[in-house]
Amino acid sequence: MLPVRVFFKKLGYGVYFSHLDLQRAVFRAINRSCLDAVYTSGFNPHIKASFAAPLSLYQKSLYEVFDFYLVEDRNYDEIAETLKSSFPPGLEVFKAAPPKHPFSSLYAADYEMTFKLVSMLEDLEKSLSGSMIIEKKTKKGGSEVDISRLIYSKSLSLSPSGAKLEMRCACGGNLHLNARHVEEFLKDKITGCEITRLSLLTRNGLLFE
């Protein structure tokens, strides 16, 4: 059994479908590739696979990761090439390799948010400097959450088309921040927000590979 970690981008059409849709699309792409994948056993067998971190609708990503297993050994570059041609538009495979880090070591993700400013940059800086309280809907009703503790670092700058916020946020495991919550927190001050996940990182700040 050969463990395979696949690295891919989610762009274009990819931003319009959900995490569940993504999983289905990946399974079908593996089926089309004719790679001999390992299946789960049980009443409803499916390809044995794990996805590193879900991405919300409308978010792009330059660095997505999933693991699956092949029944027999194959060259990783060959696997990547095979998957490239069977993946649908919007999902671009750029690497296949043996897993280097366990999923439990996933700690953070880097994001880039670009937007147009509705208020002054200083107002935005001020909002981002203290606690960032958002209303989180749960089954039992709403609860207030401070998301600032889930943002490990951030940098705000002006860009030709507006402004750009780069941030490193909690990802995976117990602590996880959906970048959409930051957009939601800033909704009165920004417009036309585009979110791109740039990379996934381990606790040591290494690229999750």
Partner 1 sequence: MVKDIYLPLLREVEKPGRYTGGEFGCVYKDKSKVDLRVCFCFPDTYEIGMSNLGVKILRHCLNEKPNIYCERAFSPWDDFEKLLIRHSLPLYALESGDSLADFDMLAFTLQYELSYTNVLNMLKLSGIPLYSKDRGEEHPLIIGGGPCPFNPEPVADFFDLFAIGEGEEVIIELSEEYIKAKKEGKSKSEYLRVASHIPGVYVPSLYKVSYLENGKVDSVTPLYADVPKVVEKRVIQDLDSSPFPAKTEVPFIETVHDRVTLEVFRGCTRGCRFCQAGMIYRPRREKSPETLSSQAQSAVRETGYDEISLSSLSISDYSGLSELIDLLKGWTDEKNISLSLPSMRIDAFYGELMDKVMSVRKSGLTFAPEAGTQRLRDVINKNITEEEILASCRMAFEKGRQHVKLYFMIGLPTETEEDVRGIASLARNVVAEFAKSGFKGRLQGVTVSVASFVPKPHTPFQWFGQDTVETITKKQALLRDEIKSGKISYNYHGAAASFIEAVFARGDRRLSKPLAAAVESGRRLDGWSEFFSYENWLDIFARTGVDPNFYAGRERTYDETLPWDHISSGVSKKFLIAESEKAKSGVATPECREKCAGCGANMFGGVRSCCP
Per CB under 8 A, residues contacting partner 1 are 12-13, 16-18, 20-21, 24-25, 27-32, 34, 39, 43-46, 57-58, 86-90
| CB 50 to partner 1: min, Å | 18
- Dist CA 3 CA 73 (whole Å): 9
Of the two residues 40 and 143, which places its CB atom closer to partner 1 in the complex? Answer: 40
Of the two residues 6 and 151, which places its CB atom closer to partner 1 in the complex? Answer: 6
Bridge partner list, 130: none
Of the two residues 68 and 87, which places its CB atom closer to partner 1 in the complex? Answer: 87
| CB 38 to partner 1: min, Å | 10
- What contacts 151, CB < 8 A, 6 or more positions away? 132, 167, 168, 169, 170, 177, 182
* Alpha-carbon torsion angle 202, 206, 208, 209, nearest 10: -140
Q: At which residue do the structure tokens 């948010």 appear?
A: 113
| CB 47 to partner 1: min, Å | 8
Of the two residues 30 and 96, which places its CB atom closer to partner 1 in the complex? Answer: 30
| CB 195 to partner 1: min, Å | 12
Residue 62's Cβ-count burial label (10 Å; 0-12, 13-18, 19+) is middle
| CB 29 to partner 1: min, Å | 6
| Helix 19-33 × helix 76-86 angle, to 10° | 110
CA distances from 190 to 72, 110, 154, 209 (A): 51, 20, 16, 34
Of the two residues 56 and 105, which places its CB atom closer to partner 1 in the complex? Answer: 56
| CB 18 to partner 1: min, Å | 8
Contact call for residues 32 and 20 (beta carbons, < 8 A): no
Of the two residues 89 and 141, which places its CB atom closer to partner 1 in the complex? Answer: 89
Q: Which two tokens stand for residue 101?
A: 């880090």
